[in-house]
Structure 1
Amino acid sequence: MPIDNMMIKPSIVICVAEHDGYERKIREIQAGIEEEGIPYTLLQGDEGCEAVTLAWQGAAASQLGVGLGVSLTGLCIHYHKLAAPKPLFTSADTVNPGTLRQFGYNAARLVKGLPFKEKLERSFTIEGNEEQLFEQIQVLVKKILQENGQGHREVSRW
């Protein structure tokens, strides 16, 4: 896929191999990029290409050096300074809207030089007694306060 990157505005290049349902995937990825305020360009890649190849082609075409590849079986974020077979992020989860949006966020954050968004490692449930629920909420509130650099006091019970 020869691409003249002088014709592409400074943006993240999303390179997609068209397949059933690719529009939904692209919508979620674009939403993540847009929320971070970075422009993107959508290019059609060769049918049957793997996500890593598509992402590398996108990164090479991007004046910002960031490419995102979307294939039937995978997602990938690549950076132009990395070797072609060594992408930054890959995922076989092409169904989960949260994963798709996270790829958009992280591609944009690579451009901005911000820390990447990570998936929540722990989900909080309401099962259990009141004391367990309080402990879960307390852990969550402390984590939020620490991430925002606010407050160093103990969280007391209301």
Structure 2
Amino acid sequence: MIKPTIVIKIDNHLDNQILIEILAGIEEESVLAEVVTEKSFKPAHLLAQEAAEASQLEVGIGICKSQAVLTTHKLRGKALLHTNTDYRTLGQNAARYVKGNSFTQMIGGEL
């Protein structure tokens, strides 16, 4: 049985600490995630859209360099949230979106 997950598409050269923080935020909200590594360069918003299209939950995160973008299939590539500093909170907010809960405030006024 395939479990519904938030799909995270990452750039091949990503700093693992960014991914660790996003996954920790998702896990704190008790939602599952799946990570897919992209072999060719794509910007974070495009990775996020592809991730949302691949997700049964229709929620995706794209990470390229230090930029992380959260989007949904319905937004068609527009960012729901983005950050280059507060990765754990972005992960939490992705999971909270899936559960229908209100967002947690992000650092830097990005929410």
Asked if structure 1 preserves the Cα contact closer than 8 Å seen for 2:11 and 2:38, the reply is: yes
Query: How far off its partner does 1:104 sit?
Result: 0.5
Q: Aligned residues: percent identity?
A: 39
Cross-structure match for 2:9: 15
Greater Rg by CA: 1
- Do 2:14 and 2:64's aligned partners in 1 also have CA atoms closer than 8 Å? no
> Which consecutive segments of 4 or more residues in structure 1 shift more than 6 A?
none
Q: Which residue of structure 2 lines up, in the alignment, with residue 112 of structure 1?
A: 99
- Report the structure, 1 or 2, having the larger strand content: 2
- Structure 1 residue 73 displacement after superposition: 4.0
Q: CA deviation at 1:103?
A: 0.8
Q: 2:89 pairs with 87, 95, 102, which one?
A: 102
- TM-score (norm: length of structure 2): 0.88
The question of whether the paired residues in 1 share the 8 Å contact of 2:47 and 2:62 is answered with: yes
RMSD value over aligned CA atoms? 1.8
- Is residue 2:58 matched to residue 1:71? no
- Which residue, out of 18, 26, 30, partners 1:33? 26
Cα distance 1:20–1:106, how it changes in 2: closer, same or farther (>3 A)? closer
Give, in whole Å, the separation in 1 of the partners of 2:12 and 2:107: 30
Q: Amino acid of the residue matched to residue 81 of structure 2?
A: F
- Are the equivalent residues in 2 in contact too, given 1:8–1:41 (CA < 8 A)? no
Distance 1:109 1:17 in 2: 24
Question: CA separation of 1:90/1:20 partners in 2, compared to 1, >3 Å: closer, same or farther?
Answer: closer
Structure 1 residue 87: deviation in Å?
A: 1.8
Measured against aligned partners, the alpha-carbon deviations of 1:40-98 in whole angstroms (never above 9, x if no partner) come to: 000112432111000000000000010001101411001011122x221122x2xx4xx
Stretches of structure 1 that go unaligned for 5 or more consecutive residues are 1-6, 122-158
CA contact (8 A) 1:50 1:73 kept: no
TM-score (norm 1): 0.63
Which protein has greater RCO, CA pairs closer than 8 Å, 6+ apart? 2
Q: Separation in 1 of the partners of 2:87 and 2:42?
A: 18
Q: Does 1:87 align with 2:74?
A: no
- In structure 2, the residue corresponding to 1:81 is in which secondary structure? helix
